[in-house]
Every structure is written in structure tokens, then in C-alpha cells.
Amino acid sequence: MTAPTASSAEATPAADPFAGAARVAAHRPWPRFVLRDAAAWTALALALGRGEGDLVALFADADAVHMAVRGAVVAPVSGVAVASLQVPDGRFPSVGAHHPPAIRLERTIRDLYGHAPEGAPDDRPWLDHGVWAGGAATLYPFLPVTGEGLHQIPVGPVHAGIIEPGHFRFTANGEAVVRLEQRLGYVHKGVEALAAGASLERAAKLAGRVSGDSTVAYALAFARAVEAALGIEPPPRAHMLRGVLAELERLANHLGDIGAVCNDAAFALMLTQCGLLREEVLRTADAATGHRLMMDMIVPGGLARDIAADGTERIRVLLSRLEPRFARIVELYDTTPSLLDRTVTTGTVKPADVRRFAAGGHVGRAAGRDFDTRRDHAYPPYDRIPPIVALREAGDVDARLWVRIDEVGDSIRLIRAFLDELRAGPVKAEVMPAGEVREGIAIVEAFRGDVVVWVRLAADGTVSRLHLRDASWFQWPLLEVAIDGNIVADFPIINKSFNCSYSGHDL
């Protein structure tokens, strides 16, 4: 491990991290500041560690590191601020030394850009498995665990069924798990490198494929970041249809997750019934947009094309069929004691942990974190028709299921409201290069939680830098906490109740 240095943990913190910082004029809609020195960066990290704000994203480029934050730490800025630190010598003070949610992000920065976080509590590689330089895969130094009667159970990276690869190292005392450590990165695709120099059309396709089950959310986040950078406003019809597509995606994924969680509790009937409903959502999406996952529909400026002429009617019919059938499924779940015995009090995450990690989506809201990007950083069409945020307190598998159940009902309400507001008109505004470097950031609520996209556009309109942050970055570490004290056999149901993305995380 690398010991803290004077430029990191021992640096004298500034009273105001943003004091004396230079604002980047080309960055929209929220500001970006170039901090004056490493002490200001450390002061910001210390403020996060004290709970004075949320870490939204931590990323880098060739000569700087960037930290997006929100909360009291950025007052009086409303919303989000991006702090940048120049790293001419390839070093920067560790944020993770003061705020643990940054640790994996810093390890990723080291792997992708070579910048070293000084004073970092964990200097192991994260995405690089030792083969990027052409060598053989290296043994990963899992953290040591000592104690009488302990044994280890390695699981993965190859799993049964059609599941993405990830390695889970359990340390157990009998059947009780005392530690879980993850190793991910097996599906690293180099998305950010592929996006460098890409046209907006190609970059939009890449963004929509970071995590295929969230293709609408990623495409929307990318489009909104580009639109913010260029000052583009999509037509009203495009805004409403974007909301319809986003909620259809939420419906399909929540239905699939509810059934899959119950299946891991050996209640296959729920899997079958939810699977049938999910299939109807996907078929309706295909009929309305030409693609079951609605891929490549959302582009900068609006939509690539309008929905089919009978698309709105097909969607209304879907909702009228789905609503009563789903209500019966919910009743079945809530009145099956053997099923509730597997979900209630299993895999609990504490409210303090979800607040510390700023965990979004069902993971955060099931443990009382009252945050939803659609409401708290409202964007069209949610600024006109906001969601009813589902909230539970228990933080267990059951609570994560109920957040999904509540959101299914609200997605049905939102889609109907969006369709009621839908008017005829164009679905795409013209997108023209700005003739100068522009930067944009956007946050969108995917079914897992908040997706962040930051983009820098060259003068000719091509992408010079693209960063995409999945909600799973701040959820995967909490899965390690949720399994503590549970039996090994409960890991599948706890894991599925999180349903973190491997692909979205591994970039």
C-alpha cells in the first residue's frame, strides 16, 4: 500500500475548496472549476468525508482529474459542480483516503490514465487484470482475512446461466459470510477510448451500449450532455416521447428483476408471470420503435425517428393489460409466507451506508435515501410531470422489491400522463458544431439509479472526451456489506435484489 504523503492526507486543507478557482466558461449546464492547487482538492475530499456532499463522479483525462460533487460542499452553486485539478506530474491527492466511495474510481483512473492517487488506501489495479501490456494475467491480491474456523469460497468469474462475468471471494465461518470481496473488470470494452474522436452519431451508439438494459437512459444522458454543451433544445414532442421510452425501459427491467429475485427464492411462478409481462412490454416497444430495447432511438437533438403511427395506442393497450395482472402478482408476493421468509431482513444495507456512498435507485431508496434525479435534478418531461418517489426504510431484499413494485405503478401513471400531453410536431432539432470546444454534463435516472455522462466536444463537433458513470459504481461496494452475517446460500437472492451492472461498471 502507498503511504500518505504531504501532498495528500497531510496537505493543509483550504477553508473553501473553490476559493480562487477559475471557472470554465464552456461548461454547461452546471459549472466546472479548475482548482488552484492540490490543497483545495484535498479540502474538497475532506468535506465529502465529513458528509457535506455527495461524490457524483471521479474521472480523468490526459492532464487532469475531475471530481463532480453536489450538496452543501458546492454551495452556493445550485445542483452539481465539477472540480478539476491539473496533474502535470501524473499525481494527485487521494480522495479515497478521506471518502471511501472514491477508492475504486481512483484505481480505475490509475489503470486508464496512469495518474497516481497519492495516499490512496488501496493501490491494487481494478480494471487492468495484468494483460493490457501484453503479459499474462496476474494473481489478484485479495485482502487477507484471519480467524479460527474460516474458509474461502471462490465463485466466478464464469457463472451458471447467461450472466456477465465477475469474481466473488467469500470468507465464511460455516455457512455465515464474514467477508465478501469482489473482483470485476472482466467486460472492460474501452468505451471511453473508442469514443475519442468519434462523431456524435457513433458516440451516441457507444453510449447506448455501455449497459444494454439501460440503453434508453444512457442515450438520454449522452444526448442531454451534448445538448447542454451546444445549447440545443429538443422539440416538445421529443421530450414527451423520451419520457415514455425511459419509463417503458424501467417497467421492463423492474418486472424482470421482481420475477428473478423471487425465482432465487425457489418461487418460479413469479418468474414466469413477471416474465410474461416483461415480454409484452418488450414486444410493444418493438412495435412502437422498431427495437425491443428501444436502442438508438434517442439522439442529440431529440429522437432519431418518431414512434409508429399506432405506437401510442399500442402502449395504452399494454398498460391497461399490465396493470390488473401486475396487481395480482403483487398480492401473491405479499401473501406467500415462505417467500417473505427469504426476503424480509435478508441482505440489509444501513441508511448511513447508502448516504455515504450516495447510492441511487432501488438500493438507496430502499434504505431511506430520498433521492431521484427525475425530481431532484428535474429534466423534461419530469419537470412538468414529476415522479412519485418510492421510499422504504428497511434496506433489505424485501424493501428493494417494494421500491420496484411501487415504481412499476408510478411508471404506468407517468407513461399515461406523458401520452396525454403528447402533441404532433417534429421530434428532432438541428445539431450543429459550435466552432469551439464545448463541455456538457447530464444526470439521468435509469432503472438502477443515476447515470452520469460528461462530454467534451471539439470545435468540429466530434467527441474529444467522454465519461460515463453507471449507478452500479456506488452500489457494488454495498453488496459486500449487505451479505455480511447472511448465509452463503442467500447470496444469489441478495445479489439479484441489487442487480448491479457488470458492463456498465467495467466500461
Over pLDDT 70: what percentage of the chain? Answer: 97
Mean pLDDT of 59-65: 97
Would you state the pLDDT for residue 2?
36
Residue-wise pLDDT for 378-411, tens only, equals 999 999 999 999 999 999 999 999 999 999 999 9
- Cell digits for 143? 485482502
C-alpha cell at 372: 431521484
Above 50 in pLDDT, residue 434?
yes
What mean pLDDT do residues 93-100 have?
Answer: 98
pLDDT at 78: 77
**Please, what sign has the CA dihedral across residues 14, 11, 32, 77?**
negative
Query: What is the per-residue pLDDT across 2-56, written as a single tens digit (0 to 9) for each?
Result: 333 333 334 444 468 998 999 999 999 999 999 999 999 999 999 999 999 999 9
State pLDDT tens for residues 270-288. Answer: 999 999 999 999 999 999 9
Provide the CATH number for the domain formed by 22-118 in this structure: 3.30.460.80
Q: What is the pLDDT of residue 133?
A: 79
Q: How distant, in Å, are the alpha carbons of 39, 77, 86, 302 from that of 229?
A: 29, 18, 22, 15
Q: Who's near 11: CB < 8 A, 6+ residues apart? A: 38, 39, 42, 93
pLDDT given at position 3: 35
| Superfamily of domain covering 191-505 | Cytochrome-c3 Hydrogenase, chain B (1.10.645.10)
Q: At what angle do helices 268-289 and 311-334 cross, to 10 degrees?
A: 170
Query: What does the block give as the cell for 371?
Result: 433521492
Output b/e per residue, 39-72; b: 16+ Cβ within 10 A: bbbbbbbbbbbeeebbbbbbbbbeebbbbbbbbe
Q: What is the mean pLDDT of residues 431-437?
A: 95
What are the extents of the domains in the chain? 22-118, 191-505
Can you tell me whether residue 13 is helix, strand or coil?
Answer: coil
Tell me how crowded residue 22 is: count the other CB atoms within 10 A of its CB. 11
Q: Which cell is 115 given?
A: 495518474
Closest among 336, 350, 343 to 494, alpha carbons compared: 343
Is residue 104 within 8 Å of 91, Cβ to Cβ?
A: no
Q: Report, as an integer, the average pLDDT of 138-142.
A: 88
**Predicted pLDDT of residue 364:** 98
pLDDT surpasses 90 at 136: no
**Distances from the Cα of 269 to the Cαs of 20, 255, 404, in angstroms?**
61, 13, 18
| Fold: same for 22-118 and 191-505 | no
- Residue 15 confidence (pLDDT): 67
Cell numbers at 353, concatenated: 451506508
Cβ atoms of residues 300 and 203 within 8 Å: no
What element of type H or E holds 180?
strand 176-183
Spatial contact of 94 and 85, defined as CB atoms under 8 Å apart: no
